[in-house]
Every structure is written in C-alpha cells, then in structure tokens.
Structure 1
Amino acid sequence: MSALLAGLVDDAGLFPPTALPPAGAVARHRRDRAAAHPMHTLRFLVPVGRLEEVRAELGPDDRLLLGLIADAAHPGDPGDRLRAALETVAADDRLETALVEVPLAVFGGDPATAVPAALAAGAAAGVPVFLEPAAPSGIGALLTAVAGAPGVGAKLRCGGVRAELFPTPAEVLHFIVSCARAGVPFKATAGLHHAVRHRDPETVFTHHGYLNLLLAAARAAAGPGAPAPVLDALRTESADTLTRELAALSGPAAAAARALFVSYGSCSTATPVSEARTLLGTA
C-alpha cells in the first residue's frame, strides 16, 4: 500500500476552496517539506500569474520544487508568459520546475492548435507537460494531438466551486480509460478533498475520492478494454470496498496504477494523509 500512495499529493494550497495567501501557503509548504511525509510529492503548484507573489515570500534558504501552471491572469501571449516564468524559475537558485500544467483553454481550447502552442512554450523546461482539455470529454482530441510526443501527460479536473465543474463518473471513466489505452499518464486536480466519493453536506456537490481514482486507474491499467469495473470503482461510496481491493493489489499492479495516475493537487495537504491513516492504517 505504501508504494500505491507514495508521492500522490501535490500542494495546491494557493487554490480554492482553501486558497491560502502566499505567505500562508509558503509557510505550510515549509512545514510539509520538513516533515517529508511520503504521500507528499513536495511539489508546490503555482500559477504563472502568482509566481512573483510566491517569490516575495521566500527566504534565502527556501527551496521549492514547482508545478508551474499556465494561466490567463494577465494580458498578452500565454506562451510568452509561460516561457518568461520558466526563465525566472531557472534563474532563481531557490526554485526548480518539476513539471508544467497547461489548461488548453489558455491557448484557445482547440487541441489542434492549442496543443502545439502549449508544448512549444512548456517544452523548453525539459520537464513533463500535463495538458488539460477544456472539458474531460475533450480527452480524445487531446490524445490525438499529442500522439507520439514524449514527456506529455493529461490533466483531469474533478471539481471546482460550481456543480457543473464536477464531471460524472462516466466522464471520468472515459478520461481514464482513454489515457490507459493511449499509454498517456494523467494528473488530477480540484474536488478531490477526501479519500472516498461522497456528497458534501454544505455545498451538496458530490465529490470524487482519491481512492476511487486509484482503484479506477488500477483496473484501467490492468484491462482498459473492460470499462465496467472502472466505472464501478468510480461510483462506489464504500470505503471497505476500496481499501480491500487496493490493499490486495500486487506490486506490479500498484506500479501500473501509479504510472497511469501520477498525482493530484490538493488544497489540503493534511486531509489526504489523515484519511489514509484512518482508512488504510498508514503511518
């Protein structure tokens, strides 16, 4: 189980609903780096438009491994902004780019034109680039556009601040199985606040769980031609079902699941760890 959970959680503290101010997000990340829990990637997710805010909070001894996210926060060419941010990071000894994430909507949305533009801007860093379609249903066109490109993954948005931002289990199924069939890894973001699929009593949004996605990835990696078991994994709200099957995965099956499902961004870095400890008995 430890191999299945290792390096699963990226730090998305700057993002809603937690939306910590840069000072608070950097302070929390320092504590997480010192603790170095194995579930944490110790990657700090930063939109390009907020990079300078984060840099302003750093001391000379800070070291941040960044997931740099292209955004449309400022006017001008998004590719130029991303390239400039990558150059800023490369020139700052306190920072290192681990990966780049690009919502294709920033580059116009149409994969046929947005994917080449996004890859041209992000490839200079020499790190993996994860591309997010405008909606999960756009994964097919995205995968067609990236066919054969090295170091490219997909990004799945699992929720947000409005109900319509939460994809259905069938939409998530299509995304995961498509990536498995294409041999393209994916990251996930937003909405994955807890381990198991559930309805939030305050917002009444139904959230996907990170254990649901792990089991779905394991089943898809084992046999992407049989989608029904993957859909069952995404739909279940039974912690017992999820933990029992995940605990029974062989080492190669767990490795295949994680090769497909790389990590996810969580605005809370404590909740995934505490829920894994409660449900799975991890340290």
Structure 2
Amino acid sequence: MSRSTGFPHHARIFEHLVDDAAVFPPGLAPTDVAVREHVDLHHGPYAAQLGPLLVPATAAAEVAILAARDPRASGSPLQVGLVVRPGGSLEPLTDAVHLLRDEPAVHVASVEVGWSPAWRQVLGLGLPVVVEVASGAAQAHALDEIAGTGTQEAGVRAKFRTGQTPTWPWPDEAALAGFVRATVARRVAFKLTGGLHHVVRGDDRGEPMHGLLNVLVATHDALEGAGTAHLARTLGVTDVEHLVERLTALEAEDIERLRSSFTGFGCCGVLDPLTELEALGLLPERTSA
C-alpha cells in the first residue's frame, strides 16, 4: 500500500491527467496492443488518472473494429483522441470523426492538430480541439489566434512538445516557461506532449527531460503572476521533496485553477509517471488483492 500525504483533495491534481500515447514514438505500440492495454488500464487501479487513448486519425477504422470486439467497451466506450501531426492533412480527421460517431464502442474525446492557416476548419466538428504550436515568434501568433476563438466556449487548447524528436530540439526550461507564461497570460488552457515520463527534472538515458511536478508547480506560479525567469527556475528544480511540499500545500481552489489551465499530457508509457507518483504517496491509496 502506498503511503499517504494526508492531503485529502490532492487526487484532483492527477485526475485524467495522463493521455495514453502508446502508438506514437518512441513507444510505437501496434494498435491492437495499445487498445487492449489501454482498456486494461481503464479497468485497473490507475483509471482515475488516465486520459484518452491517442491514435492517428488514419487508424480510426481499425480502432473501431478492435473496440467493438472487446466486450468491456460495450458498457464503457473506449475514449480516444484523434491526432493529425503538424503538417498533416485534415481530411482524414473529418472522415474519422464521422466514422466513429456511429460506433457505440468508441467515444471521441478530442481532436488534435498542428497549427496551420486551416486549423479552424476542425472547429466545425463540434469536439474539443487541441492545437499544437511551435516555438519562437510563430508560437505567439498561434496562441493569439487560439485565444481569439474564445477558448472556454469553443473548447480549444494549445499543445506544446516537451520531448526531443529528430526535427524538434528539446525545449529547455526557458522555452517551456515562456510557453506556460504565454498561455496563462492569454487564458488559454494547454496540454503537453512528449518527454514527461518522470516526476522531476532530470536526464533519461542521457537525454534531458522535464518533470511533471515541476510543470504543475510552475503552472500554479504562473497563475499567481510569476514571470518567465521564475518559472524557468522552478522547471529546473531537482529536489523532489521541495516540489511535493509545494504541491501538497495547495488549497482546493488552487488545484481547480491549476487543472483548468494545465489539462493533461500525452505519454507513450503512462505507467512511468503514475508509478512514480504512487511511490511518493500522491495517488489515492489502494490495497493489494
């Protein structure tokens, strides 16, 4: 049994926080494996912390078949987020949404696209929209457009990539701090993707990685008016006990504001951050069978 923090309202911080990106790099799980294991997780002890399964829009038909074959999906539809990577065509996304609307075993929780001049087309789908933005000057322009949609009413969030890819350098503390500060200033909710496998800032097999607790605390500080330099320092903290103390000191209303701003993140190995959170006593206690 995990130890308790004595923090009765803390569970809300991690509620539906981790989206399952198992099929995307570097995980690259086959779709059938990803669907089966996601349903297993959804019926397991981490269900409350789990977000939707993220899948390419082009895989919608396969996902529908796989979900329909699983009897567990009949009573509790598979929650999915349909993704078109930056630069991809939006047509498969529209086709996928129309296909899955007639599939009772699948529920589309959101659609995710990269920013482009055509991104607003997906607003007509009537679903929550996540828009991945770049860095630098292009980011400010994209966030201004997202803010201009009336994000609360339209259900539009921004997305920023925190992990390194062959075409995307790792964004350091200053870059991530700038994004968090920019979204909070515009009252735009956001999610992150890539690289948040661990609870604290560090390195994984020689690659730098941001920490989940760092991001949560930095988001709270941004909501309290902290500037970019302060947020960058918070994102660089490696003292896990300090971060836990900061987080467990939050009141219920602080947590609601925090999660309304930082809504979640995609991770190809969802158990990585969840088991670390459990080891720190930050998830609700569960007894062994």
**TM-score tier (shorter):** 0.7 to 0.9
Shift of 1:153: 1.1
- Structure 2 residue 113 is matched with structure 1 residue 102: yes
Once residues 72 and 218 of structure 1 are traced to their aligned partners in structure 2, the CA distance between those partners, rounded to angstroms, is 29
Match of 2:207 in 1: 205
Q: Which amino acid aligns with 1:65?
A: Q
Deviates more, 1:122-131 or 1:36-45: 36-45
Cα 1:254–1:157 shift into 2, 3 Å: same
How far did 1:41 drift? 3.5
1:73 Cα shift? Answer: 9.3
Identity of aligned residues (%): 29
Tell me whether 1:221 sits opposite 2:223 in the alignment.
yes
CA contact (8 A) 1:154 1:185 kept: yes
**1:20 paired to 2:34:** no
Equivalent residues, number: 266
- Cα gap change, 1:156 to 1:72, in 2 (>3 Å): closer
In structure 2, what is the equivalent of residue 138 of structure 1?
Answer: 138
Which structure is higher in RCO with an 8 Å CA cutoff and minimum separation 6? 2
Question: Structure 1 unaligned runs (5+)?
Answer: 108-113
Q: Which amino acid aligns with 1:20?
A: A
Q: What code does the residue aligned with 1:68 have? A: L
**The 10-residue stretch of structure 1 (28-37 or 180-189) with the greater mean CA deviation from structure 2:** 28-37
CA distance in 2, matches of 1:220, 1:134: 20
Secondary structure (helix, strand or coil) at the match of 1:23 reads: helix
TM-score (norm 2): 0.85
Candidates 51, 55, 64, aligned match of 2:78: 64
CA distance in 1, matches of 2:277, 2:124: 37
Query: Matched residues in 1 for 2:13 and 2:70: separation?
Result: 35
**2:241 corresponds to which residue?**
240
Q: Please identify, of 210-219 and 135-144, the stretch whose mean Cα deviation from structure 2 is larger.
A: 135-144
Secondary structure in 1 matching 2:148? coil
- The secondary structure found in structure 1 opposite 2:184 is helix
CA distance in 1, matches of 2:131, 2:160: 9
CA distance in 2, matches of 1:174, 1:198: 19
Report the Cα offset of residue 164 of structure 1. Answer: 4.8
Distance 1:246 1:38, change over 3 A: farther
Secondary structure of the structure 2 residue equivalent to 1:28: helix
The TM-score normalised by the length of structure 1 is: 0.87
